Amino acid sequence: MTLRLTSAPVSGIQKRKSAKSVPAKARASPFAAHARRKPNVAAAGVKTAAADFGLDEPLPDEGISLYISETASVHNVEEAVKDVGSRMFDELPARAGMNSTRIAEVLNLRRSLPPLASVAHIHTLLNTPTRVEREVVELVKSGRARRLIIPGRGNDAAGLGDCLVLAEEWEHLVRESPALDTAVKDILNRMGTHSALSQGVFAPEEYRSLMRAGFLVSSSSFTQGSLSIASLPNLPTAAVSSASRSTSAYSQPDQPVQSDAQARAATLFLSLPNIGTYLRLLGAGRAHLLSLLKRSPSGEVPLGLLKDRWDGAVETNKSFHLAKRARGEFAGILPGRTKKWKDLYGMQFRWVLEEALGAGLVEIFETGSVGPGIRCL
């Protein structure tokens, strides 16, 4: 006899079957009266950028800040020139996010740049205009430094063509140049304090070698356009007058033809190899800094926040970033993906800020609450 474990057959209890199950009444959501819309990603990004530290309104201004000059580690112009040339770029990070080819490209470009320092940058570090100009004149007269004027790069404070280079650095570059003969090197090293060359100092072949080596540029920005790069190798002989009288493809029909005296007045200026690359990189750094500053509607931003924008959302060696990486979480992008490293080869934030301050493009002021602030001018 089988033992039943349930009492349903004995008790006669049967499950009630319904032909159709009745659903439970849905409860009304408390958010049902609110309009539904998709999030606007672009608007959210703008709002977040504007809401940083309440940057939709101007920062409190308690006067001009001396943060840069007070924290600078230089005391005279000669130290400033060395300091500016040595810290243009940040060190290459251990996790750069760049392959070996790109790393070699970055390092080679850094090594090829001339050891220059703009006069505007030196003024920012020392913040004593009269003393700086006096020291610059003394260094140039004593032969310890050369002041290079690059035509066409601006003559005001925002111009990029007024630079200083120490005499020892100049002599090293001249001595190590493979494109110059020994006689030309000796003449360059024995030249006076002027940065312009008078006509007849070198032979035409020597002018060609100087231009190919990068130690000579034309003052074409001061002429009417008939003196071109193509005509420079024939200077300063009779080809000067022929270039001034001819209407080449580089001259405009509505421009007057230069006389012989005007063509000869277009002197040639001493330069350094790869100075064009240096000045273009400097100009790109200034432009990028201003674009980051203009992200704030007020045109003002705390110094720390501007530095974060310059560096990008990169991972760091801070404890919370290390913990995130250990857990396999996102801790920031690699530096090689930021504009600082892709286009500016790791240019240092403070270095480009000092350049922009000296050029009069931005202003630094005290906020009294969030440290120094930066403002567009």
Separation between Cα atoms, residue 166 and residue 72, nearest integer Å: 20
Separation between Cα atoms, residue 77 and residue 88, nearest integer Å: 17
Separation between Cα atoms, residue 331 and residue 315, nearest integer Å: 5
Q: Note down the domain range covering 262.
A: 73-276
- Residue-wise pLDDT tens digits, 85-128: 999 999 998 888 889 999 999 999 999 999 999 898 999 999 89
Domain assignment present for residue 36? The answer is: no
**Are 256 and 289 in a shared domain?**
no
For 358, the enclosing helix (H) or strand (E) is: helix 349-358
Domain assignment present for residue 24? The answer is: no
Instruction: Look up tokens 């007849």; give the residue.
Output: 200
Domain assignment present for residue 46? The answer is: no
Domain assignment present for residue 261? The answer is: yes
> Total structural domains in the chain?
2
Predicted pLDDT of residue 242: 32
Predicted pLDDT of residue 243: 32
Q: What is the pLDDT along the chain (377 residues), one digit of tens a residue?
A: 555 555 555 555 565 655 555 555 556 666 666 666 655 544 444 444 444 444 567 888 888 999 999 999 899 999 999 999 999 999 998 888 889 999 999 999 999 999 999 898 999 999 899 999 999 999 999 989 988 887 655 544 455 678 899 999 988 998 888 888 888 888 777 776 777 776 667 788 888 888 888 888 776 544 433 333 333 333 333 333 333 333 333 334 343 434 444 444 456 788 889 988 998 999 899 999 999 999 888 889 999 999 989 988 776 666 656 676 677 666 667 888 889 999 999 999 999 999 999 888 999 999 988 889 999 88
Predicted pLDDT of residue 306: 92
Separation between Cα atoms, residue 95 and residue 347, nearest integer Å: 17
Write the single-letter amino acid at 281. Answer: L
> Of 276, 300, 328, which marks where a domain is finished?
276
Torsion of CA 230, 236, 237, 238, to 10 degrees: 60
> Of 276, 301, 326, which marks where a domain is finished?
276
Instruction: Provide the 8-state DSSP code for 16.
Output: P
**Are 133 and 230 in a shared domain?**
yes
Nearest CA to 341 among 141, 121, 179, 105? 105
Tokens of 211: 């231009």
Predicted pLDDT of residue 159: 56
Angle at CA of residue 27, ends 23 and 32, nearest 5° = 130
Q: Is 109 helix (H, G, I), strand (E, B) or coil?
A: helix
Do the beta carbons of residue 197 and residue 319 sit within 8 Å? no
> Of 276, 309, 336, which marks where a domain is finished?
276
Nearest CA to 243 among 261, 231, 229? 231
Predicted pLDDT of residue 18: 55
**Are 130 and 224 in a shared domain?**
yes
Predicted pLDDT of residue 249: 35
63: left (phi over 0), alpha (psi -120 to 50) or beta: left
Separation between Cα atoms, residue 31 and residue 117, nearest integer Å: 63
Sign of dihedral through CA atoms 273, 174, 147, 69? positive
End-to-end C-alpha distance for the chain, whole angstroms: 103
Residue 198 dihedral angles phi and psi, to the nearest 5° = -80, 160
**Are 181 and 240 in a shared domain?**
yes
Torsion of CA 217, 77, 166, 278, to 10 degrees: -50
**Are 233 and 356 in a shared domain?**
no
**Are 207 and 119 in a shared domain?**
yes
Predicted pLDDT of residue 207: 82
Radius of gyration in angstroms for the set of CA atoms belonging to the chain, rounded to a whole number: 33
Separation between Cα atoms, residue 28 and residue 292, nearest integer Å: 47
Domain assignment present for residue 59? The answer is: yes
Tokens of 148: 């290079």
**Are 210 and 300 in a shared domain?**
no
**Are 196 and 308 in a shared domain?**
no
**Are 334 and 243 in a shared domain?**
no
Tokens of 15: 């499950």
**Are 223 and 199 in a shared domain?**
yes
Domain assignment present for residue 10? The answer is: no
CA distances from 294 to 49, 254, 301 (A): 11, 40, 9
**Are 192 and 288 in a shared domain?**
no
Tokens of 260: 């012989």
Tokens of 27: 């409860």
Q: Is 221 helix (H, G, I), strand (E, B) or coil?
A: helix
Domain assignment present for residue 34? The answer is: no
Domain assignment present for residue 44? The answer is: no
**Are 256 and 357 in a shared domain?**
no
